[in-house]
Chains A and B, each alone.
Chain A
Amino acid sequence: MTARRDTVFRTRDVGKVYETGGGQVHALSGVNLDLYAGEFAVLLGPSGSGKSTLLNILGGLDRATSGRVWFRETELTGMNDRGLTRYRRDHVGFVFQFYNLVPSLTARENVQLVTDVARDPMPPDEALALVGLGPRADHFPSEMSGGEQQRVAIARAIAKRPEILLCDEPTGALDSQTGIQVLEALREINDRFGTTTVVITHNAEIRKMAHRVIRFQDGSIGEVTENATRIAPSEIAW
């Protein structure tokens, strides 16, 4: 982590209200958060506390109802659809809990989905090699285990060399063994490319591999702690 603390994301008083049939749901309120270049941040918090909502807003998948969000010098709030699409395409890599691979495409083709539209992508095979799946490039998702599928999803997320990697419960559907493989892949990328990485998890142990841990409570940030020392994924007790 750089000493200069180069800020990638800044949020000011971000709020998110969902209008539902049963009334308003305040998913986020008054969220002020800075995320720094190259850091590995973990978001913790009880179910329904607004973690995914914030991640979606940072990734340009959703919009805040109030407050402002900046990605470096660019303000995301107030961007139109076209602008958000461009932002996602050029800067953000996503990893989701349920892998979300396109079942009719092989591992390589799933990665290619990204490299087809990105500005300066790495070759799909290189991205797959990074997550240790080089030999499985021609397999369809249905022919791979959950962990392998999630690693394909990571390869897909990093293939465009994104500045930020947003992961919503990437190990949520995995056992400890495969979960660790996935975390190692994320750590590896964070170390090698300095990609700012935000990981949502329910596994409090994972916080130990982060630079910073951000705790959520009822739609706002409870506490932010910085780890003096980080442990390797293999040391995580599941």
Chain B
Amino acid sequence: MPAIDRKLLRDFRRLWAQALAIALVLACGVAILLTAFGMYRALDDTRSAYYERNRFGDVFASARRAPESLLREIGDIPGVLAVEARVTGDAILDMPGRAETAVGRILSLPEARAPRLNIPILRAGRLPESPSEVAVNQTFALANGFQPGDVIEANLGGRKRPLTITGTVLSPEFIYTIGPGALMPDNRTFGILWMRRDAVAAAFDMGGAFNDVSLSLDARTPPGPVIEALDDLLDPYGGLGAFGRDKQLSNSFVDAEITQLRSMAMILPPVFFGISAFLVAMVMGRIVALERSQIGLLKALGYSNAEICLHYLMLAGLIAVLGIGIGWTAGTWMARVMAQLYAQFFDFPFLIFRVELWVYAVSAAVALLTATLGALRSALRAALLPPAIAMQPPAPPRFRQTLLDRAMAAARLSQPTVMILRSVTRWPGRSALTSLGVALAVAAVMTSTFMSDALDRVIDAAFFQSNRQDAMLIFSHDLPLSALEDVARLPGVRQVEGQQYHSAILRNAQYEKRVPIEARLPGADLSRVLSRQGAPLDAPPGGILLAERLAAQLHLAPGDTVEVAFLSGDRGTYRMHVSGVVQQYFGLGAYTDLAYLNGLFRQSPRISVANVTLDGTEIDALHAAIAAIPNLTGTVMMSSTRRSFRETIQQNVVVMTGVYMMIAVLITVGVAYNGARVQLSERARELASLRILGFSRAQVSYVLVGETMLLALLAQPLGWALGRLFTEAMVRGFSSDLYALPLVLNTAAYTRASLVVLAAALGSVLLVRRRLDRLDLVAVMKTRE
């Protein structure tokens, strides 16, 4: 091996601690790029392939009851390639060997032919062949331990019927499955049932009719005009508003995840690469300064400028290689964890959750580029150092008398303190960048702890302030208020309150949004809507309350008027005034007064849902009774929603908080450790002189520890500001029509972030201090710079 390369390897080994500290920060960038970008591509590609193979629809609509003759007209809409009409409905399922009921969404399968769109994939068994057979979605079967041949009882149109499970399937429509009224997927209590069309039509009284339709379009046709045409056709038959893939529930959840991954891949890695480049620049700058005479020597010996430049770039390259190695390992592991997480939420028939090789290559290239850019200035300086000048020791840095010096003299500061302040002001750029690095670490900790605080707030708001019922009973169609009395008589029921649900399009000028409207009885105590301040709100007659994000999307404020076009009820269009804004983290809700709304529809007050509180000891009896009630299509047990929400979210938050914390500590260590090492190297003589002059170890360490900690302290306010900025960005990035996060930043969050980072900084400099203690005074004074 050439001697110059041997020098390279020995220098690298000597610098291992600093190199590792930088490599770890670089590795964060590589790992996150690998995971976020790799997973984003994987998810996107997997989904596209799945949609393509199984002919996922482009436009979807449901109606109350449309005649099959309408299908020809739908097919004639320009741009429509295929039409698939179905009958769907929800049913309560009585689960074998379990008291708790489940809700099944029943979909019809075409008779005597394969489905044209949204083609289900058979995973086990066979598709149903007789009216009493069903195929169920695979996750529902897995969660409940169903095998082909098992029998469940369904409450179909008021009659209980045994259904034999013949097979399990996956469908592109249900990559993400969430039940009506549920906040989180729960595969135990919500399933999809594919059934022969004649059986579904009989159960829901849909002979010769359909209530659900999917269309596929040719590639050149935008969905907008087709949606409008379809709406016009379905309007007379109780059309509930057609929508494209972007509003399809399962698809929009996958979309939300993909968007999150992409923004993560765009935002985070550049931060890490930036910090790494700075650290490389700082360390390489110091090395080149230290090796001036060696550089001069190499030139005197006949090494060319290019060879010397390359020599130092390769040193940085070795750091990058270390970072890439660690980053690839960590990234591969993180991608696997992520894939497991996706497997838990998303149901794909095939797994392309593999980060592709070219993503590895790209991440490595970016890391190498980062290190090269960081080292470039120093390497060029080394290359351009005139050989003769390189033979002389560097001129001592010029310290000039400044205002600060006079101020320090006036303040009678101790000599070590003066040394600290002088050094900070002597290299303002380096000091500023060191502080910036520490500030970024503070921001990273804040971003991580913010998540769990925000979710605590969400859980408290959603489950303890707003939805305080133990269960929701969902009726197949609206019932008179007197139905509440029947519910009250069910075993274990303590309190009952009713609600009515409608679907409507809200319009304000050019803005419009299709939302569910909840009609409520004033003073409802189980399901409450709350103002931003947490006060319960009731919509007055003629008024409507809007979720905060909905009001923002429609550009509405309290006092404004909004047009409400109902898709249910009397399907009329009314104007209501916005009487308030509601704090809400799940979905986009709108709320009106129940009596007022039914008055508009010229009907007596009705309810579609009963909220109840329960006596826990009689739950089993309740479930038995529920399964026998004819008009019930669903139950949501809030206790199990709460549990599954807590479990899934909390588990993910713990992982995420851990990852962010680690990242923050790595940044701090990278910045503080390298800063202190460079300082020690620059000041070895000075500090040794102090020791020889009789300063104690503690006093000398104070100079070293003091500068880093001073910069770390100065970084705190900026860190808090950046932390706030990051969390705001996170809240924005996380917010969609499906959910939102509150911006929760309390004093504890700021304090915690500062303490974590300051502790990590102190730990790093104390490591360097150990070297100072071992400093060989004689050797330091003897060596020539």
Contacts and interface: CB of A to CB of B under 8 A. Distances in A.
B220 interface: no
Contact of A82 (B2, B303, B304): B304
B11 A104 contact: yes
Contact of B388 (A62, A81, A112, A156): A62
Contact of B7 (A82, A85, A90, A104): A104
A113 interface: yes
Interface in B284-309: 293-294, 296-305
Contact of A98 (B2, B293, B305): B293
B298 A113 contact: yes
Given A62-B387, A98-B784, A104 B299 contact: no
B6 interface: yes
A85 B384 CA distance: 13
Contacts of A59: 300
A105 interface: yes
B300 A88 contact: yes
Contacts of A118: 302
Task: Count chain B CB atoms within 10 A of each CB in A62, A89, A92, A116 and give the residue with the most.
Answer: A116
Contacts of A100: 293-294, 296-297, 391
Contacts of B298: 113
Contacts of B784: 98
Interface in B1-49: 2-4, 6-7, 10-11, 14
Contacts of B296: 61, 100
Contacts of A232: none
Given A88-B299, A89-B301, A90-B302, A61 B3 contact: no
A98 B782 CA distance: 12
Contacts of B294: 100, 102
Contacts of A156: 301
A116 B3 contact: yes
Given A61-B388, A61-B391, A98-B293, A117 B303 contact: yes
B386 interface: yes
A89 B299 CA distance: 9
Contacts of B299: 61, 85, 88
A49 to B, nearest CB: 17
Interface in B304-326: 304-305
B335 to A, nearest CB: 39
B3, B304, B387, B391: residue with the most chain A Cβ atoms closer than 10 Å: B3
B361 to A, nearest CB: 32
A81 B305 contact: yes
Contact of B3 (A89, A96, A98, A110): A110
B10 A105 contact: yes
A62 B391 CA distance: 11
Contacts of A113: 3-4, 7, 298, 301
A109 B6 contact: yes
A183 to B, nearest CB: 21
A186 interface: no
A85 B10 contact: no
Contacts of A82: 304
B302 A89 contact: yes
A82 B4 CA distance: 19
Contacts of A116: 2-4
Interface string A100-126: 101011000110111011100000000
B11 to A, nearest CB: 6
A176 interface: no
A118 B296 CA distance: 17
Nearest to B300: A94
Contacts of B14: 104
A139 interface: no
A105 B2 CA distance: 11
Given A82-B304, A88-B302, A105 B3 contact: yes
A14 to B, nearest CB: 15
Contact of A102 (B2, B7, B387, B391): B7
Given A100-B293, A112-B3, A61 B301 contact: no
Contacts of B11: 104
B388 to A, nearest CB: 4
Contacts of B388: 56, 61-62
Given A62-B386, A105-B6, A85 B391 contact: no
B312 to A, nearest CB: 14
A85 B305 contact: yes
Interface size class of A (residues with CB under 8 A): 20 to 34
A64 to B, nearest CB: 12
Contacts, number: 76
A12 interface: no
Contacts of A102: 3, 7, 294, 297
Contacts of A5: none
A99 B603 CA distance: 104
A92 B387 CA distance: 14
A61 B293 contact: no
A86 interface: yes
Nearest to B303: A117
Contact of B301 (A62, A88, A104, A109): A88
A155 to B, nearest CB: 13
A96 B393 CA distance: 13
A114 B304 CA distance: 13
Nearest to A113: B3
A116 B10 CA distance: 18
A94 B301 contact: yes
Interface in A164-189: none
A3 B7 CA distance: 45
B398 to A, nearest CB: 10
Interface in B515-560: none
A88 B299 CA distance: 8
Contacts of A110: 3
Given A96-B391, A112-B3, A61 B300 contact: yes
Nearest to A90: B302
A207 to B, nearest CB: 24
Interface string A137-171: 00000000000000000001000000000000000
Contacts of B386: 61-62
Interface in A52-91: 56, 59, 61-62, 81-82, 85-86, 88-90
B610 to A, nearest CB: 80
A149 B294 CA distance: 15
A181 to B, nearest CB: 21
A100 to B, nearest CB: 5
Which of the listed residues A56, A88, A113 has the most CB atoms from chain B within 10 Å of its own CB?
Answer: A113
B1 to A, nearest CB: 9
Q: Which of A62, A88, A102 has the most CB of B within 10 A?
A: A102
Nearest to B5: A116
B300 A117 contact: no
Interface string B166-203: 00000000000000000000000000000000000000
Contacts of B301: 88-89, 94, 113-114, 117, 156
Nearest to A168: B391
Contacts of A109: 3, 6-7
Nearest to A86: B302
Nearest to A57: B388
Nearest to B9: A104
Nearest to A124: B3
Nearest to B2: A116
Interface string B369-397: 00000000000000000111001000000
A118 B298 CA distance: 13
The 8 closest A-B pairs by CB, nearest first: A89-B302, A62-B388, A112-B3, A104-B10, A61-B388, A61-B387, A113-B3, A109-B3
16 contacts: A56-B391, A61-B391, A62-B386, A62-B387, A89-B303, A90-B302, A92-B300, A94-B300, A96-B297, A98-B784, A102-B3, A109-B3, A109-B7, A110-B3, A114-B302, A116-B4
Given A61-B386, A62-B386, A104-B10, 11 more contacts: A61-B391, A62-B388, A85-B304, A89-B301, A89-B303, A98-B784, A102-B7, A104-B11, A113-B298, A114-B302, A116-B3
